[in-house]
Amino acid sequence: MKHLLTTKELSREEAELILDVTEQMAEAVTGREVPKLPALRGRTVVNLFFEDSTRTRTSFETAAKRLSADVVNFAAKTSSVNKGESLRDTALTLQAMGADAVVIRHPAAGAPQRLTEWIEGAVLNAGDGTHAHPTQALLDAYTMKKRLGGVEGRTVAIVGDILHSRVARSNIWLLSKLGAHVRLVGPPTLLPKDIDDWPVEIGYDLDASLKGVDAVMMLRVQRERQNAAFFPTANEYARLYGLDERRLALMPDHAIVMHPGPMNRGMEIAAAVADSPRATITEQVTNGVWVRMAVLYLLLTNGESK
């Protein structure tokens, strides 16, 4: 594995290896007085973010530093990188600096793939447009593994703005590859047109779709990616597709509630649900660091030593 661009390209064996190494990372660091490992000492990891992101950038930075890597944060405004040539020039600069890995978030789908053509180091996709966000899907799978005992045979409902969600796309391909049954639930206006080719079941009624689920993943309504009105009002959306306490009671007792964050409390998820013991939202943040440590380690060392 040279790069991590999409979960669709990952084999099941590669995905399971990442999850296994994630477990090892969590065990190796947890409880240490200094929570660091020397695995990437002397390596340089560049965070190249063309979209605002505090959570994901900080998570990657923490992961790299816990592996003793040097971290360079390269923040760029979207307006200055509208042209592919600008991205290429940035890539050549990073190559000249000797970057061993570049973590990239970009508003254009396919930008991480283009980056692999211009630099020799590993490229990790931290989100490209509405296309993919592989480490989010991996940390979600790891969270299910820890809370539910595994992913194989589980039923996962992904609810909300599927159309604009790179998180949904990455989870669909990874979870189905790992043996889960995936349900997509949302208004027809927020479901992609090419959905017939995806390994999923489609539903429009949230109440009915929650019965028998092992996990429900609530997606943030991404107003910044919407160029048209996809639903009448926020209140109407919350009434039809928001997860409140009444709907939580429709789920099996063991079922968990997930959200990639940041949340619109009171819209796609009620505050009482987000703060309930069945919610894994803060665990997902913690697990994200372990997953990103595992991915960086595997890409930069070929799994040789820890």
**Catalytic residue list:** 55-56, 83, 105, 133
83 assigned binding-site residue: yes
105 assigned binding-site residue: yes
Contacts of 285 (CB under 8 A, 6+ apart): 55, 59, 261
CB atoms within 10 A of CB 182: 21
Nearest to 44 by CA among 87, 4, 73, 77: 73
30 assigned binding-site residue: no
Phi/psi at 75 (5° precision)? -95, 130
Q: Order of strands across the sheet with 44-49?
A: 70-75, 44-49, 101-106, 122-128
133 assigned binding-site residue: yes
The CA distance from 105 to 127, in Å, is 5
261 assigned binding-site residue: yes
Q: What angle do CA 302, 51, 14 make, to 5 degrees?
A: 25
Please report, to the nearest 10 degrees, the dihedral formed by the alpha carbons of residues 266, 275, 127, 196 taken in order. -70
254 assigned binding-site residue: no
44 assigned binding-site residue: no
How far from 300 is each of 105, 270, 305, CA to CA, in Å? 19, 41, 11
Classify the C-alpha dihedral 280-170-145-124 as positive or negative.
negative
193 assigned binding-site residue: no
Retrieve residue 49's tokens. Answer: 């973010």
Distance of CA 272 to the CA centre of its chain: 24
56 assigned binding-site residue: yes
220 assigned binding-site residue: yes
What residues form the annotated binding site for L-aspartate? 83, 166, 220
What residues form the annotated binding site for carbamoyl phosphate? 55-56, 105, 133, 136, 261-262
What residues form the annotated binding site? 55-56, 83, 105, 133, 136, 166, 220, 261-262
